[in-house]
Amino acid sequence: MQDRRMGIPFYKLLLLSFVGIACTSSSNKQETHKEKDNIIGVNAYDDIDLFNLKGLGRKEGLMAYPFIQIDSIDKFQKRIVYKISKKDSVERIYKKEKNYWTTFYEYRIDTGYTQTYEYIEPDKIIELDYEGTYKKTGYHLHDASIIAKGKMITYGFWGDKGIDIKPDPNNVEILKKRGKAIFTDSFFNRNDRLIIMSSTFDKIGNNTSYSDTTCYKVYGHSWFWWRYFAREPSKCD
């Protein structure tokens, strides 16, 4: 099974949704849905529109996990916490810079560490993935993704080393030209399922080397919700 979450292309090791700035592991996903917490006075939501950094479906009172907490720190900063369970959460701090809301986070993969720089506009999100060593050195731009409504396209170097360049949202144009592979996810909701149609185009071989359709029971939730509160694949019926 191939998968892509948190901006990570299929050919990489699956990154658990629990990774983040403030995060611990969880061994029983079913247990987290039985837990509840009192969220009176908390800006808690059932889902999120990340293009606009707004919550969807305001929640109050006793709330079952998972849910999303969104707070404005000040005019130029927002804090988003994906509450997986009482013990597990992922926190992102977004800052307003020029025309973007930006954030940065780092996580470990099987070959070292990845740093992700995220740039959000109302109609698209750009994610730049820089790969480094286990000593957190030698970072280089390896993948660049564009997320729009119903689609995520990632341009990458596949198994090769990327390029040494400072983070900038315009870097995605460089990878469009110099990347060796294009990974595409088209996604939409149907009934209670999120349907993701995925493909990999090998630019060197000039062919589509992989294509598949995977479904997840998300019960009406968005693709952004799925990235952090992942579910096991289900039948596409």
- Distance, in Å, from the CA atom of 71 to the CA atom of 110, rounded to the nearest integer, reads 33
Residue 16 lies in a domain: no
Residue 108 lies in a domain: yes
How many domains would you assign to the chain?
1
Q: What pLDDT score does 39 carry? A: 61
Rg over alpha carbons for the chain, rounded to the nearest Å, is: 18
Residue 68 lies in a domain: yes
In a domain, 11, yes or no: no
Contacts 24+ apart (CB under 8 A), 174-181: 174/141, 174/144, 175/141, 175/143, 175/144, 176/144, 179/143, 179/144, 179/155, 179/203, 180/156, 180/204, 181/9, 181/11, 181/155, 181/156, 181/157
| pLDDT at position 5 | 42
Q: Residue 140 is part of which domain span?
A: 29-234
Residue 2 included in any domain = no
Answer yes or no: are the C-beta atoms of 105 and 20 closer than 8 Å.
yes
How high is the pLDDT of residue 218? Answer: 94
Which pLDDT score, from 0 to 100, does residue 36 have? 60
Distance separating alpha carbons of residues 185 and 145, to the nearest angstrom? 11
Asked whether residue 193 is assigned to any structural domain, the reply reads yes
Report pTM.
Answer: 0.83
Task: Tell me the pLDDT of the chain (237 aa) as tens digits.
Answer: 334 444 444 334 333 333 333 333 332 333 334 566 656 567 899 999 999 999 999 887 777 889 999 999 999 999 999 999 888 999 999 999 988 999 999 999 888 999 999 999 999 999 999 999 999 999 999 999 999 999 999 999 987 889 999 999 999 999 999 999 999 999 999 989 999 999 999 998 999 989 999 999 999 999 999 999 977 899 887
Is 17 part of a structural domain of the chain? no
Burial class of residue 123 (count of CB atoms within 10 Å of its CB; 0-12, 13-18, 19+): exposed
CB-neighbour burial class of residue 180 (10 A; exposed 0-12, middle 13-18, buried 19+):
middle
Residue 162 maps to a domain: yes
Please state the φ and ψ torsions of residue 81, each to the nearest 5 degrees: -120, 125
101 and 51 Cβ atoms separated by less than 8 Å:
no
Give the pLDDT confidence score for residue 174 in this predicted structure.
95
As a whole number of angstroms, the distance between CA 176 and CA 172 comes to 6
